[in-house]
């Protein structure tokens, strides 16, 4: 869990969309990890947005990614970040989950934050990732390489409608990660289906659902002002 410093906030009103101020925090993730002595030996870091649910054991996914992308080795030369491909055509990468190395990835994180700050009218941090990706492809920025990780079955899903949520519930198993995108899609899931979905992810029994307070406290659509 990140603990932002006061200097990591830009003045209120700098961004057209207030949530962009706290979306910058993920670009300081190495600073936050270094501030925790217990994490001194951690080299590879998995960043996960707060609105990403675990539908299956994360260790399964980690094993696949570490093997496929050599995440046990220390990257050399280029600064790198590893992202899943996006489900939206207008965005190349999905910024809600990424993998980084504490000694290698700082340049890319700084570049991402700079692109976010350069265009305060943007609403999504993925737009800044698009810009870095295009700059690298056009040889304008060769020091940062954004790696696109293939999104195989059951790795990660981004349900955007009741129909897609129901399809996940009816599938043989849930994906390892489910990015519900709190303020953009989950807030629009039909009430009832939304709670049933969360109960399935949490593997609650019918009795636990009756006794649980989760249906009263599940909160979607929090804004930057709350």
pLDDT tens string 109-139: 999 999 999 888 887 888 888 888 888 777 7
- pLDDT tens figures, 169-221: 999 999 999 988 765 666 778 878 888 888 888 888 888 877 666 555 555 55
**Residue 161, C-beta contacts closer than 8 angstroms, at least 6 positions apart:** 185
C-alpha 9, offset from chain centre: 20
Residue of higher predicted confidence among 169 and 78: 169
Torsion over CA: 181, 183, 184, 188 (sign)? positive
Q: Determine the average pLDDT of the residues in 37-46.
A: 93
| Phi, psi for residue 137 in degrees, rounded to 5 | -65, -30
In this predicted structure, the answer to whether residue 224 has a pLDDT above a threshold of 50 is no
| pLDDT at residue 137, as a whole number | 74
What pTM does this model have? Answer: 0.86
Of 183 and 65, more confident: 65
Q: How confident is the model at residue 61 (pLDDT cuts 50, 70, 90)?
A: very high
C-alpha dist (Å) from residue 217 to 55, 161, 169 = 20, 22, 21
Q: Could you tell me the pLDDT band of residue 41, with boundaries at 50, 70 and 90?
A: very high
Q: Give yes or no for residue 20 having a pLDDT over 80.
A: yes
Average pLDDT over residues 87-94: 77
Contact 145, 74 (CB under 8 A): no
Mean pLDDT across the stretch 150-158?
87
Nearest residue to 109 via CA among 127, 140, 132, 77: 132
Is the Cα dihedral 134, 26, 45, 34 positive or negative? positive
Q: Per-residue confidence at 26, pLDDT binned at 50, 70, 90? A: very high
């Amino acid at each position: 869990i990140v603990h932002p410093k006061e200097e990591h906030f830009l003045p209120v009103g700098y961004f057209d969309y207030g949530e962009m101020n706290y979306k910058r925090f993920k670009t300081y993730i190495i600073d936050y990890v270094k501030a925790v002595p217990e994490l001194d030996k951690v080299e590879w870091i998995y960043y996960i947005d707060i609105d990403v649910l675990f539908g299956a054991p994360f260790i399964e996914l980690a094993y696949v990614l570490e093997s496929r992308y050599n995440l046990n080795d220390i990257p050399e030369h280029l600064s790198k970040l590893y992202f899943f491909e996006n489900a939206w055509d207008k965005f190349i990468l999905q910024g809600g989950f990424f993998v980084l190395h504490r000694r290698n990835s700082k340049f890319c994180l700084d570049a991402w934050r700079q692109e976010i700050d350069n265009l305060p009218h943007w609403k999504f941090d993925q737009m800044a990732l698009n810009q870095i990706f295009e700059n690298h492809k056009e040889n304008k920025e060769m020091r940062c390489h954004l790696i696109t990780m293939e999104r195989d079955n059951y790795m990660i899903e981004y349900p955007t409608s009741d129909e897609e949520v129901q399809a996940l519930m009816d599938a043989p198993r849930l994906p390892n990660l489910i990015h519900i995108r709190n303020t953009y899609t989950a807030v629009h899931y039909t009430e009832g289906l939304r709670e049933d979905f969360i109960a399935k992810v949490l593997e609650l029994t019918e009795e636990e659902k009756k006794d649980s307070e989760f249906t009263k406290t599940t909160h979607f659509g929090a804004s930057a002002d709350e």
